[in-house]
Amino acid sequence: MLELIRHPWHWSIAGFLIGLTVPALLLIGNKSFGISSSLRHICAACIPANIPFFKYDWKKEVWNLFFVAGIMIGGFIGNYFLSNPEAIVVAPYTQETLQQLGVKDFSGLMPIDIFSFDNLLTAKGLVFFVIGGFMVGFGTRYAGGCTSGHAIMGLSNLQWPSLVATISFMVGGFAMTQLLLPYIMHWVN
C-alpha cells in the first residue's frame, strides 16, 4: 500500500479530492475554502497594534488556521516519508528552455538555481523572494483572495468576481512565464 502512495497519481485524482473540499466545508459549517486569509488571522491574533484591518473576531476563523497547519504537516509527511523514489521527469523542451535561462538542476520540485537559501541575499533572491513575495501578497489582497479561494471555491459557487480573478491569475502567470521571466533571469544571472 505504501508503494502505491509513493508513486505519482494522475492529476485528476487530486483535482477530484480538492473539489470534494468545497462541498465538505459548506456542509460541515458553511465555511469558504481559501488560504490567503489565514495570514490575516495570524496577524490579528499576534499583533497587538491598533490596526483597523486586524480588528475583528479572528477566533471565529480559527478553523482556517488548523486547516493551514494540516496542509503544512501533510506537506512535511509527504516530502519526508512518502516522496516518490524516482527522479522528477521534466519535458526535454522545458529543460532546454530553462537551461538557456541559467537553471541547471532539475532534481527537486523547485529549481535550486533559483530557490535556495544561498540566493537569499543576492539580486536573484531579492527579485524572487522579496519582490515576488510582496507582489503575490499584494495581488491576493487586491483580488480579495488567492487562487484556491477564487478558482476552487469562488468558481464552484458561480461567483463572477472569482471568474474575473481566475482569468487574471492565468493571464498574469502566462505573461510572467513567457514575457517577463526570461528578462528577469538574464538580469539576475
Percentage of the chain exceeding pLDDT 70:
99
43 versus 7: the higher-pLDDT residue is 43
| The pLDDT value given to residue 93 | 92
Sequence-ordered list of residues with C-beta below 8 angstroms from that of 188, at least 6 positions apart, any chain: 122, 123, 124, 127, 128
pLDDT at 40 over 80: yes
Verify that 119 and 175 share a domain, yes or no: yes
Structural domain containing residue 154: 90-189
Verify that 99 and 151 share a domain, yes or no: yes
Verify that 99 and 163 share a domain, yes or no: yes
Verify that 11 and 98 share a domain, yes or no: no
pLDDT at 85 over 80: no
Verify that 46 and 106 share a domain, yes or no: no
Verify that 168 and 104 share a domain, yes or no: yes
Sequence-ordered list of residues with C-beta below 8 angstroms from that of 124, at least 6 positions apart, any chain: 114, 188, 189
Cα dist from 183 to 21, 85, 121, 170, 178, whole Å = 38, 35, 20, 20, 10
Verify that 94 and 82 share a domain, yes or no: no
Confidence tier at 59 by pLDDT (50, 70, 90): confident
Last residue of a domain, one of 86, 117, 146: 86
* Model pLDDT for residues 102-115, shown as the tens digit of each residue: 888 887 778 888 88
Total domains, the chain: 2
| The pLDDT value given to residue 164 | 93
* Model pLDDT for residues 166-184, shown as the tens digit of each residue: 999 999 999 998 998 888 8
Contact 58, 41 (CB under 8 A): yes
Last residue of a domain, one of 86, 104, 132: 86
Verify that 29 and 95 share a domain, yes or no: no
Confidence tier at 30 by pLDDT (50, 70, 90): confident
* Model pLDDT for residues 93-103, shown as the tens digit of each residue: 988 988 988 88
| The pLDDT value given to residue 70 | 93
Last residue of a domain, one of 66, 86, 106: 86
* Model pLDDT for residues 111-141, shown as the tens digit of each residue: 888 888 888 888 888 888 888 888 888 888 8
34 versus 70: the higher-pLDDT residue is 70
| The pLDDT value given to residue 136 | 85
Verify that 187 and 120 share a domain, yes or no: yes
Verify that 108 and 174 share a domain, yes or no: yes
Verify that 61 and 118 share a domain, yes or no: no
Verify that 94 and 81 share a domain, yes or no: no
Burial class (CB in 10 A: 0-12, 13-18, 19+), 169: middle
Q: Find where cell 470534494 sits.
A: 20
Average pLDDT, the chain: 85
